[in-house]
Structure 1
């Protein structure tokens, strides 16, 4: 029993801790209590070259699509014989006209991904997204869910038969900017505090918190705050990437900073820095629209500071 973890965090923390497995408890042992922070971005770098529009407004010729299982409920299960739908099935993704301009429509009913053909490194990516009305089983009663995956590479559908290995800038209602390694061989480090109000691993990004590896069983870290606008309104995402570091920003508010991004060779076990890759959008249960997706080169990262 990790008494030190629960002291001072109240009954809710103790209750949440009691429900953990020994492995889960050990994974987050020593995390300090999360302290709410007001964060802002300073020293925003100027681009070192012209911006590139990733959506041409007409078609998806610059992208590749991949779909997972016909029943998304199979995604996280070990089902011998079950096969993903695979490449070239583009019905879940299409260009549409919405609010007076072109946008990428992600249907969400079948889980999968759309991946840009080019690899990028050292960039500032900006996009706008908004939620549609429809959600699908098995997440019809859960928060709208999707994701921006960066530094994508390797085999299409290599993770759960559905997504290409990557680092995820989570786009989920209430959790936009959460970081998730997509693939157990993807390494991510960040700083955290223990927040018993959120689900396991009860970890929220915190400047000056405990530096940890984001890895199973503590598979994600929640964004520091939730500056998302109401469903149906457009939100602006900024992703700054330099080498093996990145900063996640939502509506001008920094919500996550990660570093030491890496990828481990599954045969040799050797790790190397993960510094480039393709841009990938998920289809994961909710209608979503993306527009004005641009990438511009940078030579420095902004800084995240506390007020």
Structure 2
């Protein structure tokens, strides 16, 4: 029969081996800590512990009698992971042209869908066929760049498909090109949206704490909108077009151009300027394309350096 002292010694030995394995593998609940490996939630779809949760975990190990030196190694590995994440996710000024839609794959992006999460696109909401990105619109979510960007000229080309879904089935087709996305994945990530919607394409919307100033007016409440010149009352019905609509007829390709330099913002729809803003917050972040009840296609999403940056 094993004595209490022997049992405790065996338990501590097992715990020490477990903590040693954690250290050897560089593993701490959130995944790899090796800077050469994936680390972000977008790349691993793993939960990331906060510093508070880290300390609770380390305290729990110490309370069980784990070796303090090995727990210190784990703490250092967690800090390394966190600092690496900050470095990896820093906004990158665009130094050379980049085709985010390269016609071959969607490696520059990750999908996020409401009630499903990151990388959980089981219904094929985001697909690439013959070089075209199709967003079905069947689920609410987005396709976001893995990297964050600052100081760039962005050119997107899109056209509507036919399908509409759910509560928006009979309503105006709706999507969006969002820039400067930061924070948690949700509906919607904090960002500035260039609206893509029937009768509203070219409107600019601030989302979830973003803000922007245009002609001395600052908007900060989520869904506050800067209307494009010539905008009119929208009839929320599929196929709506306004008299002064800048969007081309259904089925034709349209071009959006965004110049983001520092905290300034310029937007064009089919070569027509629609907005000149300043004091943008955030002023850098991810670029993402919304899935919001209507089928839409993209054939181009290119970023270029901005002259003078």
Matched, 1:87 2:87: no
1:166 partner SS = strand
Distance of 2:223 and 2:151 partners within structure 1: 28
**8 A contact 1:60–1:95 mirrored in 2:** yes
Distance of 1:216 and 1:55 partners within structure 2: 32
Residue 164 of structure 1: how far off its partner (Å): 1.7
**1:146-202 deviation digits (Å, cap 9, x = unpaired):** 000000111111xxxx2321110111111111111110x2111113xxxxxxxxxxx
Structure 2 residue aligned with 1:214: 219
**1:52-75 deviation digits (Å, cap 9, x = unpaired):** 10012122122111111xxxxxxx
Query: What root-mean-square deviation, in Å, do the aligned CA atoms of Structure 1 and Structure 2 show?
Result: 1.8
Gaps of 5+ in 2: 1-93, 231-244
Q: 1:247 aligns with which of 262, 266, 270?
A: 266
Structure 2 residue aligned with 1:291: 299
**8 A contact 1:181–1:214 mirrored in 2:** yes
Distance of 1:217 and 1:281 partners within structure 2: 18
**8 A contact 1:242–1:300 mirrored in 2:** no
1:138 partner SS = helix
Q: 2:153 aligns with which of 118, 124, 132?
A: 124
Number of aligned residue pairs: 200
Structure 2 residue aligned with 1:39: none
1:50 partner SS = coil
Distance of 1:217 and 1:96 partners within structure 2: 34
Structure 1 residue aligned with 2:106: 60
Distance of 1:218 and 1:65 partners within structure 2: 22
Tell me which protein shows more helix as a share of its residues.
2
Structure 1 residue aligned with 2:136: 107
Pick 1 or 2: higher relative contact order, CA cutoff 8 A, min separation 6: 1
**8 A contact 1:96–1:104 mirrored in 2:** yes
**1:200-243 deviation digits (Å, cap 9, x = unpaired):** xxxxxxxxxxx222233872121114311001000011111111
Task: State the TM-score, normalized to the length of structure 2.
Answer: 0.62
Distance of 2:144 and 2:198 partners within structure 1: 22
Structure 1 residue aligned with 2:210: 186
Structure 2 residue aligned with 1:10: none
Gaps of 5+ in 1: 1-47, 69-83, 192-210, 263-273, 302-307
2:226 partner SS = coil
Tell me which protein shows more strand as a share of its residues.
1
Distance of 1:92 and 1:104 partners within structure 2: 10
**1:17-48 deviation digits (Å, cap 9, x = unpaired):** xxxxxxxxxxxxxxxxxxxxxxxxxxxxxxx9
Structure 2 residue aligned with 1:96: 129
Task: State the TM-score, normalized to the length of structure 1.
Answer: 0.62
Structure 1 residue aligned with 2:12: none
